[in-house]
């Protein structure tokens, strides 16, 4: 077992546990975006940054293993500022704010972010509506990779792949021809894990979107 302190609270966790798990063991909240309990940690978004005594800079809580005697500060000002800037940058690239119930909106509220301070290029609107159960709003994709991992690790289907790089990064179903022509078995794991509703179940989307006017 490993003993460490998180925000001054001593905790003991198993060997191989992460800083995020240690924080949760003492009810300390660390925001996450690319992390899903059901998947192996990915460490892509840098939203879960915390300070560790002796470390040269903030570390990602979701991928950093605990050490005996570690001293973790989840409220470190520098770590919070960097993480908040990351989230604000992500928001600034969306054509509109994420729906209030999404994880991205929850994380934005955690950092008390309003409308992004920067305006620049936003992801172009591109909708895939050809599948009876799943819809894809590509412009809301923040490339967290959760849907791809859910498809691979949870369902074992490999219908989704990460596509593009940098600002162009997105996700493709099959050969980017939509869910219907991919290996998708409509399990819904991708929609369930997506933190922005970029992938959503058609029935849920229809409840959120206003009826078109006649
Ligand atoms: S579609 Fe959703 S889950 Fe998949 S990478 Fe984009 S934001 Fe993440
Ligand atoms: S939640 Fe830790 S890096 Fe994304």
Report the alpha-carbon distance of residue 145 to residue 155 in Å, rounded.
Answer: 15
Atom of ligand 2 nearest to the CA of 32: 1
The residue nearest atom 6 of ligand 1, judged by CA position, is 141
Complete domains list, the chain, with CATH: 1-122 (3.10.20.740), 127-208 (3.30.70.20)
Write the pLDDT tens digit of every residue in 86-117: 999 999 999 999 999 999 999 999 999 988 88
Q: Residue 208's pLDDT is what?
A: 62
Joined tokens for residue 151: 């498809």
Tokens 């994380």 found at: 107
Write the pLDDT tens digit of every residue in 127-137: 998 888 999 99
Atom of ligand 1 nearest to the CA of 193: 3
Which residue among 38, 164, 196 is best mutated to probe the pocket of ligand 1, counting the most ligand atoms within 8 A of its Cβ?
196
Q: Residue 205's pLDDT is what?
A: 62
Tell me, using a 6 A CB cutoff, whether residue 196 lines ligand 2: no
The pTM for the full model equals 0.90
Ligand 1 first shell, C-beta below 6 A: 141-147, 171, 193-196, 198-199
Q: CA angle at residue 116 from 113 to 121, to 5 degrees? A: 150
Report the alpha-carbon distance of residue 45 to residue 37 in Å, rounded.
Answer: 15
Report the alpha-carbon distance of residue 93 to residue 73 in Å, rounded.
Answer: 30
């Amino acid at each position: 077992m490993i003993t460490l302190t998180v925000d001054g609270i001593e905790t003991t966790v198993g060997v191989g546990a992460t800083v995020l798990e240690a924080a949760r063991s003492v009810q300390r909240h660390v925001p996450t975006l690319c992390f899903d309990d059901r998947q192996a940690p990915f460490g892509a978004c840098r939203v879960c940054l915390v300070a560790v005594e002796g470390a040269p800079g903030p570390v990602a809580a979701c991928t950093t293993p605990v050490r005996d005697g570690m001293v973790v500060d989840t409220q470190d000002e520098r770590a919070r500022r960097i993480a908040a800037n990351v989230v604000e940058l992500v928001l600034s690239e969306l054509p509109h704010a994420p729906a209030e119930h999404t994880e991205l909106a929850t994380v934005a509220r955690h950092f008390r972010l309003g409308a992004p301070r920067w305006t620049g290029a936003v992801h172009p609107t591109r909708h895939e509506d050809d599948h009876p159960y799943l819809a894809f709003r590509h412009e809301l994709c923040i490339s967290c990779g959760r849907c791809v991992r859910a498809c691979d690790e949870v369902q074992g289907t490999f219908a989704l792949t990460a596509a593009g790089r940098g600002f162009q990064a997105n996700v493709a179903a099959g050969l980017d021809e939509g869910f219907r022509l991919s290996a998708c078995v409509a399990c819904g794991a991708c929609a369930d894990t997506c933190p922005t509703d970029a992938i959503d179940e058609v029935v849920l989307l229809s409840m959120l979107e206003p009826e078109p006017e006649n």
